[in-house]
Structure 1
Amino acid sequence: MMAEDLIRSGLYADDHSLASDLAWESEDDKRNYKIALLVALVFHIILIWVSIPDFGNKNFVEEKKNEKIMRRVVLRPPPEQQMKQLQLQKKMQKVPVPDPTPDKPEPIVPIETSDDQQINMDDDYIIGVPDAPPAPTGPIRDGTAGLTRPVYDLGQLQQNVVYPELGKKAGFQGYVILEVVLKKDGTVGNVRVIGGPLRALGFPEAAIRAVKKMKFTPGKLRGQPVDVILTLTVNFKLRR
């Protein structure tokens, strides 16, 4: 009986010590958990605190960037422009102010005239229409302004043409161009060949002889007969 009580008391003591150990370990775990929780909380607070100033500074920097700095800048003109302005100011200072009062008019001096002055009229002074200018001495070219052309008959000129024998035998036909001076006395002056295909076989000589026989009325310039230079064409055509 006694032995059993000892055994039971020993078992009870062991159970009690085990329970007390378990309780002790549970208290330590709780304390360690609280410490770990506190450390974690402090760590997170520190992290949040460290990140808050950066965020604030970033916003502050961005606000500084967006902020416009207004400064008053006084621009000075370049030296050349300053010199021009100074010269202009000097010129403006030198310009005199005009006097608004009008100047006194100069006295009018009368021109002395003499009653004794007379115009001497000599025989050279003739009152009336002046004489017409003298007619030109040389021949006037046809087409001159104011010229009345000579009057002549081209049909009569062609009737005066005598066909040259050599040209007739050769069967040549054509014309000769002549420059003729029709004189104011009604005669034919100088005649010369200036063109045309018939320059040989007696055609030029036949044309000149025909013109020399021509009758005409002389040309006039300002109502006076004059010698006139003009161009005439003499045709040569065979009759079939």
Structure 2
Amino acid sequence: MSRPWCALVGAGPGDPELLTLKAVKTIRRATVLLVDDLVGPDVLATALAGVDAPPRIVHVGKRGGCASTPQAFIERLMVAEALAGERVVRLKGGDPFVFGRGGEEAEVLRAAGIEVEVVNGITAGLAAGTSLGVPLTHRDHARGVILVTGHAREGGQPPDWAALGHAAAQGLTLVVYMGIAQLPALSAGLLQALPGDTPAAAVQHATLPQQRQVVATLGTLPAAVTAAGLGSPAVLIVGDVLLGLARAGEAPADPVRLTA
């Protein structure tokens, strides 16, 4: 009897053409597919096109600021289905190991004796920058990039935005996931270490047809996001890699398309 198996698969930022070949092959192996809320129907349609025996699809919504399926329930379901002999694929937006709780799930699965396969996906932070036409690590403007979540774990401490601002001031691009709800506090903290005219942007629904973005400065970004009506899911970018866009006062009229 083969060992129980489960795959954690990244679906990418939303554009179905950005699914990797390995992601599609792995999804097609599934008999049970546990799908996050941020994975759109076009992704499923593309991955499962022509499949003779589609998997049983279970939607397990996970979206910041909204009612979500409890993580403990998802983990129990993954373990139970895999131990019952199903080929389980956990399909997540972005990358399972970048704020996707993939590490927690892998630990639970391995503790239950289940083989774990991880398939990376294009993470939303990378896609957001590219959709604006800017690299996160342009060598003239950034020595590196910091990926951080603005959403503190329940009962946990929020990020130290002032400390992160000091790090960004050393020539690092700051990319914030799940930060829209905390934007006023986030901006105020960063402004303790960064000047108010530091370029900043918010990108909602990166790579999708409904993508919207605001390019401003760190000091004006909260008001600009509110005025534009941007909400989650969105990625925030802070740093000099945005200088050209900030000088122009806006992002490209047509967002740059990210291609695999």
Which category describes the TM-score, using the shorter chain as reference length?
Answer: under 0.3
TM-score (norm 2): 0.17
Q: Larger helix proportion, structure 1 or 2?
A: 1
TM-score (norm 1): 0.18
